[in-house]
Amino acid sequence: MRLLYAVAWPGQGLYTRDPIKASGDLKGLKMRTYSPLTSRLAELLGSSGVQVQVSDVPQMFATGAMNAMVTSSATGTATKAWEFVKNYTKTNAWNPKNVVVVNQRAFNGLPKSVQDGLLKAAAAAEPRGWEMSKAREKEGDETLAKNGVTVTEASPELKGALSKIGDQMAAEWEKSAGADGQAILKAYKAK
């Protein structure tokens, strides 16, 4: 595989009915999760993780099956989060990325002019995609606010708690990933 480019989604934040100032404010909440990592995050925050697909978010909030979620402002606007919560705490705890790859053998089989054109298009797409992601986040934040959701930055206390949880989750992953995973994490931290 050959990486052509990567673009991040808008940053992830916390949607809740009540304002969140510290990690303890999330204790006991039923939080939407969508992956093993977000389930672990909920657990470490003292919340109960509820595996929910985006299309089911409104129903899960309406029935009380969940009362918090971790996702981006883009997903919050897509699900009309303002119908269920009044607070969005921007944590930018992570930025999931989409990557575009090509099979290396297939790429090598292309004429040089086509390879060059593909690489040039990928080089142009990546910065454009990052700018589009930033614009989508800004638009999402504004739409949430326009619909009555209080959009705030995470408090230093919450940021600190999330950072510690991130360190713990990275250590858990490193331990389970073996030598290859440890080498990847070491290279990542060196950058």
CATH assignment, 2-190: 3.40.190.170
Residue 182 has pLDDT above 90, yes or no: no
What is the rounded average pLDDT for all residues in the chain?
93
pLDDT at position 165, please? 95
If you compute the radius of gyration of the chain from its CA atoms, what whole number of angstroms results?
A: 19
Separation of alpha carbons 155 and 161, rounded Å: 10
DSSP states along 140-189: HHHHHHHTTPEEEEPPHHHHHHHHHHHHHHHHHHHHHHHHHHHHHHHHHH
Q: Is the pLDDT of residue 185 over 80?
A: no
Q: How confident is the model at residue 166 (pLDDT cuts 50, 70, 90)?
A: very high
How sure is the predictor about 170, in pLDDT bands with cuts at 50, 70 and 90? Answer: confident
Taking the model in full, what pTM does it have?
0.86
**Number of alpha carbons in the 13 Å side-chain half-sphere of residue 101:** 9
**What is residue 44's predicted lDDT score, i.e. its pLDDT?**
96
User: How many other CB atoms sit within 10 Å of the CB of residue 50?
Assistant: 20
Percent of the chain clearing pLDDT 70 (strictly above): 100
State the pLDDT at residue 96: 84
Asked whether the CA dihedral 82, 85, 91, 96 is positive or negative, the reply is negative
Average pLDDT over residues 125-144: 96
Above 90 in pLDDT, residue 188?
no
Average pLDDT over residues 43-66: 94
- Scan for tokens 């989604």, then name that residue: 9
Answer whether residue 83 shows pLDDT above 90.
yes
Portion of the chain with pLDDT greater than 90, in percent? 82
Secondary structure, 3-state, 93-131? CCCCEEEEEECHHHHHCCCHHHHHHHHHHHHHHHHHHHH
